[in-house]
Structure 1
Amino acid sequence: MEIEILSAQSSKSIGVLNNLTPTTNIRELKKKVQGLKKSLYPDRQALRLEPRGKILKDDESLQILGLKNGSKLYVKDLGPQIGWKTVFLAEYAGPLFVYLWMYRRPWLFYGDVGAAVPVHYVVHMAAGCWTLHYAKRLLETLFVHRFSHATMPIFNLFKNCSYYWLFTLYVAYHVNHPLYTAPGRVQAYGSLAAFLLCELGNLSIHVALRNLRPPGTTVRKIPVATSNPLTALFDLVSCPNYTYEFGSWLSFAIMTQCLPAGLFALAGMYQMSVWALGKHRAYKKDFPKYPRSRKAIVPFVL
């Protein structure tokens, strides 16, 4: 069997792949496409039946796709790629180090007054919460998350790092400022308790999602609550990890009573809502028996 490979961008022929069988899958086909054009390594390719069609899954075979001798496939160059794990480690390590640097009140930002003014206990609590969150993120990236895609466009590394690192600098500058005014004890400690609960809930959801996908696969299943009571939020929303994430940063903002922290929570909520709505639509499309009562991220609302 022969299949002609064309560029999805220009419709120009890249070459013809031969000696294919009906059981050849897209993953194997991508390796053969690289033989036609060395720069198109498999993670850089998106194969489609039409130039703007749906991206074909790696485990789909030529027979399942209805391809025959002389058929055509279109390949889109996704550009230089970088591993998801590498991006996550970079975007999470930055906020950890930037915040702890600002926590020391460097002379560059605060001058001589930074070392002269005592540090309020809420400032210490905030540094502890920030450290806990991003240390957890780093450990989850290394030991918990199983990625459905191996890579992402390298541009995302700079975009994601800029968002996290600069927002961290903005928040940390104000929380650690010598003129910072802290809220009362009830507000601070109540918010701290809520922050810790949401962090534990977020971790619980990530572990539950990890256990849905066997190692080395891209299997997708309907996520459901486990014996851990913190996963019961799956009964109400499709992406409870985002719900808990927003809860953590809302609690942090209330605990510090800092406007930049509130803006960070709102910006995160907006982006996570976009992701959650997309995942929610995908779940409903891919699983006919998906619970219709679930919302995307906010129970009963969104």
Structure 2
Amino acid sequence: MLVIYAPALAAALASFAVPGAVQGARAGLLCAAVAAHFLKRVLEVLLVHRYSGSMPLGTALLISSCYLFNAVAMIYVQRLSRGLPEPAVDLLYPGVLAFAVGAAGNFYHHLLLSRLRAGGGAGGDKGYKIPRGGLFELVACPHYLFEIVAFFGFAMIAQTVYALVVAVGSAAYLAGRSSATRKWYASKFEEFPASVKALVPYVW
């Protein structure tokens, strides 16, 4: 998992050292948010997550390339937008808030998942249990919900079409994963609550 996240982190940090790459509050905060996002992921790999399987190196490199490309492209497109008129509605600081809420919520629910795995237990393959606590009482994948919030935080900070496309694409992908995860829990555990939605509390 370090192979997946570390290159994007390195690229985001390196952008601060590239002359002219980061100028102005919007570009600086976007680079900082991208770096913080991947730093959090690297630290979670080292200190939080508990993995039940492995991933082929080829798959890891492919995913890593996608994260690296998106990180670099968001920062580069922000550089290309320099000199263009500022948006009529400035979403920079609401975007910083959305990113912070998304990152914090994602981290908290990752902690809950790691504690669930720590004890192992019966009731499913490899010690899986129904997650409890936080928004797990309402949705199967609150960590994905908050990750989507963080990606839309990127889009609000950047206010570029590319960052918005990344956010929408990420939301669609994570919505699909949330739906599949909920179906897995429902098939594996007879006691899985029917009221627990896939991603959005009380809605879906």
Same fold by TM-score, threshold 0.5 exceeded? yes
The match for 1:173 is: 76
Give 1:221 shift. 0.9
Q: Give, in whole Å, the separation in 2 of the partners of 1:203 and 1:133.
A: 10
Change (3 A) 1:215 1:155: farther
The match for 1:274 is: 176
Q: Give, in whole Å, the separation in 2 of the partners of 1:95 and 1:176.
A: 17
The match for 2:27 is: 123
Give 3-state SS (helix, strand or coil) of 2:83's partner.
coil
Gaps of at least 5 residues in structure 1 are: 1-87, 107-113, 226-230
1:124-171 deviation digits (Å, cap 9, x = unpaired): 11121111111110000001000121x122221222112111122221
Identity level (%): 30
Does residue 187 of the first structure (1) align with residue 100 of the second (2)?
no
Q: Give, in whole Å, the separation in 1 of the partners of 2:36 and 2:84.
A: 22
Choose 1 or 2 for highest CA Rg.
1
Q: Give, in whole Å, the separation in 2 of the partners of 1:224 and 1:163.
A: 32
The match for 1:295 is: 197
Give 4+ residue runs of structure 1 displaced > 6 Å after superposition.
Answer: none
CA RMSD between the two structures: 2.2
- Please point out which of 80, 100, 112 is paired with 1:208: 112
Q: Give, in whole Å, the separation in 2 of the partners of 1:266 and 1:236.
A: 23
Does residue 101 of the first structure (1) align with residue 14 of the second (2)?
yes
Contact 2:120–2:127 (8 Å) recurs in 1: no
Does residue 220 of the first structure (1) align with residue 128 of the second (2)?
yes
The match for 1:158 is: 61
Q: Give, in whole Å, the separation in 2 of the partners of 1:179 and 1:91.
A: 34
Contact 2:15–2:31 (8 Å) recurs in 1: no
Q: Give, in whole Å, the separation in 2 of the partners of 1:129 and 1:163.
A: 18
Change (3 A) 1:169 1:128: closer
Does residue 136 of the first structure (1) align with residue 77 of the second (2)?
no
The answer to which structure has the higher strand fraction is 1
Q: What letter corresponds to residue 94 of structure 1 in structure 2?
A: P
User: Normalising by structure 2, what TM-score?
Assistant: 0.87
The match for 1:244 is: 146
Give 1:103 shift. 4.3
Count of residues in correspondence between the two structures? 199
The answer to which structure has the higher helix fraction is 2
Q: Give, in whole Å, the separation in 2 of the partners of 1:251 and 1:245.
A: 10
Give 1:196 shift. 0.5
The match for 2:160 is: 258
Gaps of at least 5 residues in structure 2 are: none
Give 1:179 shift. 3.4
Contact 2:117–2:128 (8 Å) recurs in 1: yes
Give 1:298 shift. 2.3
Contact 2:2–2:42 (8 Å) recurs in 1: yes
Contact 2:138–2:201 (8 Å) recurs in 1: yes
- Please point out which of 44, 50, 72 is paired with 1:146: 50
Matches within 5 A, 1:17-166: 88-105=1-18, 114=20, 119-149=23-53, 151-166=54-69
1:271-290 deviation digits (Å, cap 9, x = unpaired): 21222111111100111111
Question: Per chain length, whose mean CA-contact separation is higher, i.e. which structure has more relative contact order (CA < 8 Å, sep 6+)?
Answer: 2
Contact 1:199–1:244 (8 Å) recurs in 2: yes
